[in-house]
Structure 1
């Protein structure tokens, strides 16, 4: 019976992992299709995804066995929830805008730079030290990315700059979070994040959408393809964003965070590969070599980051606000996903929190 249960868990894990990768890649491809085609209104569409995810999280409160809302009971938690919407706009908002100008493959390639920017920030701010293997993978990742982007036949300066800004936006969010939390370790569920931050994010995105003239573009899209088509495209995107978050939660809740880490490490390579299949993109040999090096280095770095977090000498948190187990750890040293898009969150925030915790303990001793 135990063997049967183990086999069932293995099959369930594989099924959820494949579902996670499928929906993730499909959502990226779908966004690229509509943003560079029938609906070039990325900010407005991103806003609708956030609203849909809020409604989904709100409805989940009717099922306490599946989701129990974490209460805001500390200034640190409130601070984190106020920072997330700004980070979301800088990261995901700019990322979706870049899809109007650059290919999906180039977009995903540039997004792979996030471990490098986070590592540099952690080194200069907190003096974080990395192993030789980690440094080597980051160097390979940077080399592969530079080669892939520089030799790409689809290079677009405007799109590349916006995409780079989105990567820096992710890092900026982590820096602000680690700076303002003052040594407190905050753990939230995915649904908590959607419930508390989706509407504030939409409020920030709304004037951006108007300022970019997306209302006029939306009107033109309705006239060109019809109101029904526009509604269907937006609804499909919202449904995919909600489904993505649902599968992500189930994957972590009923299997293990290791599967989540593995999926995050491989999805970049899969998305880049699918980009060449679904869209007409020229492929230079040097660009392909750069993509291959980047994808391999990114996957290895993801594995090393997960291995580094194994509970060998785990530091006891100074203060913890929690409601369940590993599913709540998404905003602290693990990749987090908001509105169907991923925000890479490696070790920077965790290192900053632990360093501040150590300094507080030392000051008390003295």
Structure 2
């Protein structure tokens, strides 16, 4: 019995380590490709991610039977999934664009304000009010980012706007998902939702890539002739983007929602430290204080939400 519990604990630790590694890995590799390597095509990169998610989701569900396949039951449900897919595309593309201009550490600081945008959208769309204490905890979340922005040596206005937009879109998707797929007949687990969202995302991203990133395929082929590593980078990065979703699903399945929140908060801090060590981007004391305040605010927000339930 003790051995089984020990094995279960090791399995959970392994899952969390995989989730952290894939999450931080895809973030750092995106940053390296878009900023350091000079592959300035964030829409095409996102399309590669979504293509990999489409193929690997199908393999995991249809062939490996990791979860039972859930079917789309109506045209209305399909349109709801398409709407979610569009918002999801916007969040990922804008996030990737922001990585061209901002260091990962600052990107993560802004990303930590997701609870603020979630609370705003939940109120605007569903008129759902939280307890007053929950709203109070959002003050340090936003204040921390304002302080971090003022003390960020690599601040870039366009990158900052893109990152804010990506964070807002991510929050909007979670609120819309709760509304659009709330009925029992329409609920999909995250792996099945990705199976249907990813191909729709590719359909949205393909014309956007062709219009906004002209001749990107030709440029990528030319790059591959000079340095074939770009192909391996793109393939590995795309597979890792799927692995982020897979490990997120498995960690959610094997731990509680609260554990996931705590681990998510810590993950941002780990990503900041790792990115500073790898990319050696300058960080000010003011910036780190601001980010720390934001993380503390997010932890307090999680605690306030738990108590209000």
TM-score (normalised: structure 2)? 0.88
Aligned-pair distance for 1:118? Answer: 1.8
CA RMSD of aligned residues (A): 2.6
Query: Which residue of structure 1 lines up, in the alignment, with residue 117 of structure 2?
Result: 117
Query: Is the CA contact (8 Å cut-off) linking 1:47 and 1:206 kept in structure 2?
Result: yes
Query: Which residue of structure 1 lines up, in the alignment, with residue 3 of structure 2?
Result: 4
C-alpha change, 1:95 and 1:187, in structure 2 (3 Å) is: same
Provide, for residues 83-102 of structure 1, a one-character-per-residue CA deviation record: whole Å limited to 9, x for no partner: 12211121111111111111
RCO higher in 1 or 2 (8 Å CA, sep ≥ 6)?
Answer: 2
SS in 2 for 1:99: helix
Instruction: Measure the CA separation in 1 of the matches of 2:301 and 2:51.
Output: 34
Query: Which residue of structure 1 lines up, in the alignment, with residue 12 of structure 2?
Result: 13
Aligned-pair distance for 1:188? Answer: 1.3
Instruction: Measure the CA separation in 2 of the matches of 1:126 and 1:189.
Output: 22
Query: Which residue of structure 2 lines up, in the alignment, with residue 86 of structure 1?
Result: 86
SS in 1 for 2:275: helix
1:35 aligns with 2:4: no
Instruction: Measure the CA separation in 1 of the matches of 2:187 and 2:151.
Output: 42
Q: Which runs of 5+ in 1 are unaligned?
A: 310-366
C-alpha change, 1:303 and 1:28, in structure 2 (3 Å) is: farther
SS in 1 for 2:101: coil
Query: Is the CA contact (8 Å cut-off) linking 2:105 and 2:273 kept in structure 1?
Result: yes
Instruction: Measure the CA separation in 2 of the matches of 1:164 and 1:154.
Output: 16
Query: Which residue of structure 2 lines up, in the alignment, with residue 194 of structure 1?
Result: 194
Instruction: Measure the CA separation in 2 of the matches of 1:175 and 1:249.
Output: 18
Q: Which runs of 5+ in 2 are unaligned?
A: none
SS in 2 for 1:36: helix
Aligned-pair distance for 1:144? Answer: 0.6
C-alpha change, 1:154 and 1:74, in structure 2 (3 Å) is: same
C-alpha change, 1:155 and 1:117, in structure 2 (3 Å) is: same
Query: Which residue of structure 2 lines up, in the alignment, with residue 25 of structure 1?
Result: 24
Instruction: Measure the CA separation in 1 of the matches of 2:251 and 2:171.
Output: 26
Instruction: Measure the CA separation in 2 of the matches of 1:131 and 1:13.
Output: 33
Query: Which residue of structure 2 lines up, in the alignment, with residue 131 of structure 1?
Result: 131
**Higher share of residues assigned helix:** 2
C-alpha change, 1:125 and 1:52, in structure 2 (3 Å) is: closer
Query: Is the CA contact (8 Å cut-off) linking 2:115 and 2:171 kept in structure 1?
Result: no
Instruction: Measure the CA separation in 2 of the matches of 1:305 and 1:264.
Output: 15
Instruction: Measure the CA separation in 1 of the matches of 2:107 and 2:217.
Output: 23
Matches within 5 A, 1:163-312: 163-174=163-174, 184=183, 186-213=186-213, 215-216=215-216, 219=219, 222-223=222-223, 226-305=226-305
Query: Which residue of structure 1 lines up, in the alignment, with residue 103 of structure 2?
Result: 103
Aligned-pair distance for 1:210? Answer: 2.3
Instruction: State the aligned residue count.
Output: 306
Query: Is the CA contact (8 Å cut-off) linking 2:118 and 2:172 kept in structure 1?
Result: no
Instruction: Measure the CA separation in 1 of the matches of 2:107 and 2:176.
Output: 25
Instruction: Measure the CA separation in 1 of the matches of 2:218 and 2:97.
Output: 15
Query: Is the CA contact (8 Å cut-off) linking 2:223 and 2:230 kept in structure 1?
Result: no
SS in 2 for 1:282: coil
TM-score (normalised: structure 1)? 0.75
Query: Is the CA contact (8 Å cut-off) linking 1:43 and 1:93 kept in structure 2?
Result: yes
Moved more, 4-13 or 171-180: 171-180
C-alpha change, 1:214 and 1:287, in structure 2 (3 Å) is: farther
Provide, for residues 64-106 of structure 1, a one-character-per-residue CA deviation record: whole Å limited to 9, x for no partner: 3x22210112455323311122111211111111111111111
Query: Is the CA contact (8 Å cut-off) linking 1:41 and 1:217 kept in structure 2?
Result: no
Aligned-pair distance for 1:258? Answer: 4.1
Query: Is the CA contact (8 Å cut-off) linking 2:224 and 2:231 kept in structure 1?
Result: no
Aligned-pair distance for 1:291? Answer: 0.9
